[in-house]
Structure 1
Amino acid sequence: MGAIIFDRSRRLLLVRRGRPPGEGLWSLPGGRVEPGESDAEAVVREVAEETGLTVSAGPLAGTVDRPAPGGAVYEIRDYLAEVTGGELAAGDDAADARWFALGELPRLPLTPGLLEALTGWGVIGPPSGSSATG
């Protein structure tokens, strides 16, 4: 599960993964849903652990399947979320956490398929543009 979070300037919050999978790549904050935990609870917990920010979870933006170790497949559900407090600071398995203007995204080493998924779901505009509709 992942969280799609924009600030008031429509910059997107990304974390640089500090561990596999995706070590060194920029991605949405997120992680596994713990047993007995709802997706919304996982969004709030994971964002707090990785970024220091408190959020409220919003609607599902989309779902993707990604390869996992041992031939398994991760189903990743990404939710829109809104910051309600806290101070941005990388934590847990995030090596860094920053806000990025949408025009910067195509130049970043992103996790595979992230930009295409966000564009396909209509969360952000095409890479050549800088508008977002999320």
Structure 2
Amino acid sequence: MDEQEFLAGYDPSAYPAVAVTTDVVALTIREGSLHLLLIRRGQPPYAGHWALPGGFVQPDEDLATGARRELAEETGLGDERMHRVHLEQLGSYGDPGRDPRMRIVSIAHLAFAPDLPDPVAASDAAEAAWLPVTELGNRQLAFDHARIIDEGLERARAKLEYTPLATRFLEPEFTISELRGVYETVWGDPLHAGNFHRKVLSVPGFVESTGATTERGGARGGPRAKLYRAGDARLLHPALLRPAREEEIR
């Protein structure tokens, strides 16, 4: 039997139906703290609960396209700003009882970018908001989204150790102090300014100088700070370890 004959006689209905959705753990820094985008569901199941932005993947979409579409719907981001969003696949979640409607497998994605706009709730959502990650314990979360969020936050924190993705939380030109602020915010730990500055500049390709400085000095009237941009490194070697990880190694 050739392939055409096989496909002509193939009956998809002979197998249990499985739907595919995508959920997005979208992170940004607002007012000096790490925020996560959540929507409050307006319809069952889990009406009134908070959930990650997401939805069913359309027949003509690949997984990343579906995730970008869902994120754009909730944030109002157009194509001209979407290119600044870092998006990567986080994991697959397929527990048979995770959704009461039917067997649904979610392919979750992690996204982060600087200064993402206020969200706009889609038609099936009662509300959408950027919420500080420190306040998530007070929210009722739908489905298995608590687990997805936990794994997304850990992925983001870990990736800042060995990749230059912290720069994606910043504008194209930034100071080392601003970069340190990203690490402190995402990791939730204060960092020694001098040690951090030295470590960053010792990693080949992490950042490169623009040759320019800030227009003004620091709050205490100090010298103007040098401006940097992201370098061409894809991995950080040596890695910038979280304080707790450094203690473990010692």
Where on the TM-score scale, by shorter chain, does this alignment land: which range? 0.7 to 0.9
Given candidates 100, 108, 121, the residue that maps to 1:78 is 108
Structure 1 residue 80: Cα displacement: 0.9
Residue 111 of structure 1 pairs with residue 142 of structure 2: yes
SS in 2 for 1:22: coil
| Structure with the largest fraction of helix | 2
For 2:38 and 2:149, how far apart are their aligned partners in 1?
13
Alignment root-mean-square deviation, CA = 2.6
Structure 1 86/107 Cα, relative in aligned 2: closer, same or farther at 3 Å?
closer
Structure 1 6/48 Cα, relative in aligned 2: closer, same or farther at 3 Å?
same
Identity among equivalent positions (%) equals 33
Amino acid in the other structure paired with 1:3? V
1:49-81 deviation per Cα after TM superposition (whole angstroms, max 9, x unaligned): 234245446111122122342xx3110111012
SS in 2 for 1:7: strand
- Relative contact order (C-alpha < 8 Å, sep 6+): which is higher? 1
Q: Structure 2 matches for 1:19-98, cutoff 5 A?
A: 19-54=43-78, 55=82, 56=85, 58-65=87-94, 66-69=98-101, 72-83=102-113, 87-98=118-129
Match of 2:153 in 1: 123
Structure 1 runs not aligned, ≥5 long:
none
Q: Give yes or no for contact 2:118–2:129 (8 Å, CA) kept in 1.
A: no
Structure 1 residue 124: Cα displacement: 4.3
Amino acid in the other structure paired with 2:107? R
Q: Give yes or no for contact 1:3–1:78 (8 Å, CA) kept in 2.
A: yes
Q: TM-score normalized by structure 2?
A: 0.44
Higher Rg: 2
Q: TM-score normalized by structure 1?
A: 0.77
* Matched positions, count: 126
Q: Which moved more, 1:45-54 or 1:104-113?
A: 45-54
Match of 2:218 in 1: none
Structure 1 residue 103: Cα displacement: 1.7
Q: Give yes or no for contact 1:5–1:82 (8 Å, CA) kept in 2.
A: yes
For 1:100 and 1:57, how far apart are their aligned partners in 2?
19
Q: Give yes or no for contact 2:76–2:119 (8 Å, CA) kept in 1.
A: yes
1:69-102 deviation per Cα after TM superposition (whole angstroms, max 9, x unaligned): 2xx3110111012357655221221111111111
For 2:64 and 2:72, how far apart are their aligned partners in 1?
13
Structure 1 122/96 Cα, relative in aligned 2: closer, same or farther at 3 Å?
closer
Structure 1 residue 114: Cα displacement: 1.8
Structure 1 residue 111: Cα displacement: 0.8
Q: Give yes or no for contact 2:99–2:143 (8 Å, CA) kept in 1.
A: no
SS in 2 for 1:123: helix
For 2:118 and 2:138, how far apart are their aligned partners in 1?
26
For 1:109 and 1:22, how far apart are their aligned partners in 2?
9
Q: Give yes or no for contact 1:43–1:57 (8 Å, CA) kept in 2.
A: no
Structure 2 runs not aligned, ≥5 long:
1-21, 156-185, 189-241, 243-250
Match of 1:4 in 2: 25
SS in 1 for 2:141: coil
